[in-house]
Structure 1
Amino acid sequence: MKLYLDSANLNEIDECLSRGFLAGVTTNPSILSKEPKTDFVPHIRKIADLLRDHGQLLPLSVEVFAREAEDMVAQAHDLVNRIEYENVNIKVPIGWDELGVIAQLVRDGIRVNCTCLFTEAQCALAANANATYVSIFMGRLKDVHCDPLPVISNTRRMLDQSGSAAEIIVGSIRHERDILEAHLAGAHIVTAGVAQLRKMTQHPQTTKSVDGFLRDFEQWLK
């Protein structure tokens, strides 16, 4: 079960890296906009430096924000060149023209995370264009009263049957329970905020049990 952190906050990234479970980091323009206003490329480079400092070249996804296909390609190359990180993946949203962007970037040797996916058909097209990752938005599917689990499981089965190397990232996680459900449905990776990841460690019986063990031992020591 691979877990990514969906954040651009340096403290959150460092916190998760230090706990040893993190397999990657994803960002998007909305996430970056929550950080202090600055040139965002140096900020992304700080994230890359954190990953290096922890001795791991984990995947880092950064999204283009241009709207036209030619501009997306140019911006993707600019980001890769300026970030200078060996395992950067460029996020490109799904779309007819955007499929051409994905195909071009892959030909240019740039790994692509195709994002904003809500259907199996979208995932199939992105995978066929040789995206490294296909990112399904679980919470936003629920927002429009669609069950995301069949989309995840159908996409996984489709990728496996076709022999595609693309991996499913499930994001837009609203509850820690969604993380396990997405994995059980077939996601290769789930990316979530630090709040949801922290909650995965918590259960009332865990707290009760640990308190009981320590209380009994402290009584015995007296």
Structure 2
Amino acid sequence: MRKLYIDTANLDDIKRINSFGIIKGVTTNPSLIAKEPKQNFDALIEELAEFCDESSLSLSVEVFASEPEEMYKQAKEIHTKLKSIIDPDLLRIKIPIGLEELSVIKRLSDEGIDVNCTCCFTEQQMQLAALSGAKYVSLFYSRLRDTSGNPKEVLNRTRDFLYENNLLCEIIAGSIRSQGDVSDAWHNGCDIVTCSTKIIEGMTQHPKTDESVAGFLKDFNNWIK
């Protein structure tokens, strides 16, 4: 089953897009949170967690520490704080990929905390994260393409690796810049695509759709006069 997530920390956008019944989760990161009106970090993520729990949406919250041990402590604090608000089965803690960060992923996973390993650009990064216990690995799709990389190939090879090694890990494609990226990711081994409100809105639009609807109404109104 292919799933669509919304990539934002804006609660109004989450509520509006969720009302259409098309998303299964929410992903956030420090940059997205920084786009929101300045407020207490805990209050913001608790508000998101409350709505996601009510709506049965998964929620990914990223640590903002830079040292692995601090990442671990922060991840534990975030998880402890939110697990009383949102069903823990819906909560994922985002940890960026890195050698020492793999130990953070393993420790958290061993403690039953679902980890979404983020900032991945290569199949090797995602493979190692999955081997360390990450339940989700996030590929920065368009940013990889910016470096002349091939995100489709990375997705397919990672999917093959997960299957061959019986790893229960889902692939997320983020850094999505067009509607076409969504379809390409889904058709190349990606389980989940997370994208902005603007991209989701654009997925419903085509100039010929507007032209066709206008034509139907014009013809009908001319006939009914």
Q: Work out whether 1:67 is the aligned partner of 2:37.
A: no
Count, aligned residues: 220
Secondary structure of 1:157's aligned partner: helix
CA distance in 1 between counterparts of 2:21 and 2:52 reads 12
1:216 to partner: Cα distance: 2.3
Q: 1:62-211 counterparts in 2 under 5 A?
A: 62-84=61-83, 85-86=86-87, 87-211=90-214
Q: Partner amino acid for 1:120?
A: E
CA distance in 1 between counterparts of 2:19 and 2:6 reads 13
Does the Cα contact within 8 Å between 2:52 and 2:58 map onto a contact in 1?
Answer: no
Q: Partner amino acid for 2:79?
A: V
1:72 to partner: Cα distance: 1.3
CA offsets 1:51-75 (integer angstroms, 9 cap, x no match): 234xx32110000111222211111
Residue 15 of structure 2: aligned partner: 14
CA distance in 2 between counterparts of 1:143 and 1:38 reads 33
Does the Cα contact within 8 Å between 1:41 and 1:83 map onto a contact in 2?
Answer: no
Q: TM-score, normalised by structure 2?
A: 0.94
Does the Cα contact within 8 Å between 1:3 and 1:22 map onto a contact in 2?
Answer: yes
Does the Cα contact within 8 Å between 1:5 and 1:191 map onto a contact in 2?
Answer: yes
1:221 to partner: Cα distance: 2.6
CA distance in 2 between counterparts of 1:52 and 1:217 reads 45
Comparing 191-200 and 145-154, the one that deviates more: 145-154
CA distance in 1 between counterparts of 2:167 and 2:213 reads 45
Structure 1: which 5+ residue stretches go unaligned? none
1:198 to partner: Cα distance: 0.6
1:152 to partner: Cα distance: 0.9
Q: Work out whether 1:58 is the aligned partner of 2:57.
A: yes
RMSD: 1.2
1:88 to partner: Cα distance: 1.2
Does the Cα contact within 8 Å between 1:42 and 1:83 map onto a contact in 2?
Answer: no
